[in-house]
Structure 1
Amino acid sequence: SELSSEDEDEILGAKAVEFATRTRGLDRALLADNLHFEHPDFTCAPLHGEVVPDGEFEVTVRFHPKSSGRRMATAYVDVEGREDRLPLLLKGHAVGPIAVFTYDALEVGDVFIGAVHQYEVELVNRGEVAAEFRLVPPEPGSRAAVDFSFEPSAGVIPVGEIQTVIVTLCSDTLGEFDESFEWEIVDGEIPTTLDFKGKVVGPAFTVDAQSLDFGVVGYGFRYTKDFTVHNGCEIPMRFSLRVPGDAKGEFTCLPSAGTILPFGKQKVELELISETETRYTTTLDVDVPGVGKSLHRIPLAAHSKVPSLELPAGTLDFGPCFIRHKYTRTITMKNGSRIPAKFVVEPQDAQSRGLCAWDCEPASGSVDAQGSLELTFTVVAERLGLINLPATITTVGSSKPPMQLLISAHSRGPTLGFSQKPDDPDSVWVPELKWGKVPVLRDESKVIYVTNKSLIPADIRAFVQDPDSAFFVDAREKTLEPGEEYALTVTVHMDQLMVHRDELNVMVIEGAPFMIPLTAEGIGSLTMCAD
């Protein structure tokens, strides 16, 4: 809705009254104020007075700045009777604390990575007031914040005094650095700066081996070379050794890694066990963890060879062998080369062991350079007859076909000997028993001595050929141990007046049978008188 003219007049009248009231308050305050000069940095005293004719009046102006910098103010002198005031321009330069480093840049040169280096710098108060200082913190995570520390990083230096600041540098980052640090001088006009320049380098070390040459080595044998790593700096040095491309692990360093004390040394043994018939041309690399890989490379060389072994003959003949009895024979294997060789006698297959089992001692081993080794073979025949079995001898690492040795034997069963006298197995006697004329109807006995002349037990069976024979034996079955002698009794009982012939059969299990002729003639009377 629109206001009426009467309403507008009422509003304007109210505002006029409010303004007049506020103006009267200001006028009263202005009349009460002497309008003296006031300023935070300048003070004049006295602020009023009287100057006699042709006289002077001294006013003292004090400059008391609260912070450094240039200051300027204008004071006005009000003279009674004059319409215009006299201006007085006041100027001053507030000089704050002054502190500077004795040198603002420090070239530290090469410093070792991970080493703690300390430097002393001096902050000098060259002003006329005490100087409060503090380090402006570098950006968090920056190299300046991580690698450098200052003690103290804040403080107050009295007038004319010097503050020593200890700077600690420890860096894990290789390369050059140029870091600037700003120090605030509280209430000073300008800050002071301190620069550090240098280069972080890896540890200095040397190896006393120009190269590592194993020369000609035998396949599968252990060879070693020694060398020493010297730490030439004042910090501990970590190291790690490796042979690039050694997938089979044929080279081994003992130790392969570790830490060498300042200016210390570490002896290292490099071991080679070749598993490849080849020439090695590679390097042994020295890594320094946290610094770099392959900081030093030692040339490495070797030539792995496999010599040829020889046997004096292709057959190892055991000759006649009793079944299931152990026999041994030796054969000499020779190595005519200048490097040793390893061999393996391949195991016998299970199928052929049912015919004849053989074993070799040693079943594996080595033959010295230009040396020889006796192999002892043991056989136990399980079947009768001729035996020919192959034995395979492999030279470890050789690409040539393995050596083949034929094991030959003639397996046989037990052998018996016969004699007419005891303990006389070697007598020459063609076994035959003759009784000649014997009275009928009476027993007449003869003894034949049977000896087991073999190295194994002999199971024998004795019997006469004709089941209705006048001859009979006392023991039909008997086991004779090796070398054992047994008295076999054969008895004849003639019941006819005639010549009677038969055969005594001595059968040997797994051996040859023996046949002994028997002859007797019955005499006398077949009539007997009962008492």
Structure 2
Amino acid sequence: LINKGPLDAPFTFVPSSSHMAYCFKFAPRRGILAPGERQTIQISFKATLLGTIYEEFQFSVAGSPIPVILLIKGCVDGPNLHLNVEQIDFGDIAFGVPHTKTFRLTNTSPVSVTFKLRIPDDGSGPAVTCYEQMRNNTDPSWRKGIHFYVEPKEFTMTPSRGTILPQGSQDIEVTLCSNTVMEYYRYILVDVEGIGEGLLALNVMGRCIVPKLKAYPYILCYDECHLKEPYERKFLVVNNTPIPGCYGLIAQKRKEDTPVFYSSPKPCGIVPPFSVAEIPVILEAQKAGEYSTNVL
């Protein structure tokens, strides 16, 4: 502001009521200029709206019927984010086995962009991996299946939020640990801080199935055994499917009158696709006689 008159000029900034005007701040907002004096006004701008800027700002001058008008023009563009893939397809996956895919989020904007990723239809409870189940073959889930009080969060994104510098990019891992036998059709939504939600959407699909494992032979014969002496036989678990399968030899429920005890040093494991696992079973007779028992 320049006072070109012969008198002191008290000035005051006149606020505007437009939505875009609220993005601007002026300092100082008032003062007195002596004749010939200059006053530098600092203008701060933080965009909260997208679109064209065409704003008139006024400074009233005491004793003058005509305000001083400042016109500001410009344009606020949204962030330019791009995905390097159109979709993520996990294909056929095994129940409880985590699978990971990656994609890249690129920022071609001249400013940094802070993002957050989310999948609206995902649950919030902890998902259970087969590796956690394998730690304990006495877990009731081996007999009754996994039951959730809260729907599990089956998708994990790393990182799920962050800031990408101008002309920078971020590689993101998406891990699906399915606890539901179903087909998946979900979307990863990209929210941008200060701009909006769901600016980008990435389709995610896949199908969770349980492979059919087979045991050979069906009957293990231990022939003659001495009381309280351990005897070992082995059987095979065969996986003829293209996905890994998790097996668990359910712990025996023993009672005082149980005639035969059985156990395994490898009660749980994973059989890779088109592979065979060898499972040892140790039997110990507790009573004399001929017995048979089911190993589950």
Q: Which moved more, 1:170-179 or 1:248-257?
A: 170-179
In structure 1, the partner of 2:244 is 340
In structure 1, the partner of 2:294 is 390
In structure 2, the partner of 1:372 is 276
In structure 1, the partner of 2:6 is 129
Query: 1:131, 1:156 within 8 Å by CA — same for their partners in 2?
Result: yes
In structure 2, the partner of 1:240 is 116
CA shift, 1:172, in A, is 3.1
In structure 2, the partner of 1:362 is 266
CA deviations on 1:466-522 (whole Å, 9 max, x unpaired) are xxxxxxxxxxxxxxxxxxxxxxxxxxxxxxxxxxxxxxxxxxxxxxxxxxxxxxxxx
In terms of Rg, which structure is larger? 1
In structure 2, the partner of 1:138 is 15
Change (3 A) 1:128 1:142: closer
RMSD: 2.8
- Distance in 2 (CA, whole Å) between partners of 1:230 and 1:157 is 53
Alignment of 1:112-511 (within 5 A): 123=1, 127=4, 129=6, 132=9, 134-138=11-15, 143=19, 146-151=22-27, 153=29, 154=31, 156=33, 159=36, 165-174=41-50, 178-198=54-74, 200-247=76-123, 248-351=152-255, 354-392=258-296
Q: Structure 1 regions of 5+ residues with no counterpart?
A: 1-122, 393-531
- Distance in 2 (CA, whole Å) between partners of 1:130 and 1:342 is 90
Change (3 A) 1:319 1:298: same
Query: 2:26, 2:41 within 8 Å by CA — same for their partners in 1?
Result: yes
**Matched position secondary structure for 1:390:** coil
Change (3 A) 1:309 1:352: farther
CA shift, 1:264, in A, is 2.6
CA shift, 1:226, in A, is 1.1
Query: 1:133, 1:183 within 8 Å by CA — same for their partners in 2?
Result: no
Change (3 A) 1:220 1:353: farther
Give the partner amino acid of 1:222.
Answer: P
CA shift, 1:233, in A, is 2.4
Query: 1:335, 1:371 within 8 Å by CA — same for their partners in 2?
Result: yes
**Matched position secondary structure for 2:252:** coil
TM-score by length of 1: 0.46
Give the partner amino acid of 2:255.
Answer: Q
Q: Which moved more, 1:344-353 or 1:286-295?
A: 344-353
Query: 2:20, 2:53 within 8 Å by CA — same for their partners in 1?
Result: no
CA deviations on 1:427-460 (whole Å, 9 max, x unpaired) are xxxxxxxxxxxxxxxxxxxxxxxxxxxxxxxxxx
- Distance in 1 (CA, whole Å) between partners of 2:34 and 2:84 is 54
Question: Per residue, is there more strand in 1 or in 2?
Answer: 1
- Distance in 1 (CA, whole Å) between partners of 2:257 and 2:198 is 57
CA deviations on 1:221-278 (whole Å, 9 max, x unpaired) are 1211111212222333221111221122111001111222333322211001111222
TM-score by length of 2: 0.79
Query: 2:99, 2:176 within 8 Å by CA — same for their partners in 1?
Result: yes
**Matched position secondary structure for 1:183:** strand
- Distance in 2 (CA, whole Å) between partners of 1:373 and 1:295 is 48
Q: Structure 2 regions of 5+ residues with no counterpart?
A: 124-151
CA deviations on 1:74-118 (whole Å, 9 max, x unpaired) are xxxxxxxxxxxxxxxxxxxxxxxxxxxxxxxxxxxxxxxxxxxxx
**Matched position secondary structure for 2:225:** strand
Relative contact order, higher structure (CA 8 A, sep 6+): 2
In structure 2, the partner of 1:79 is none
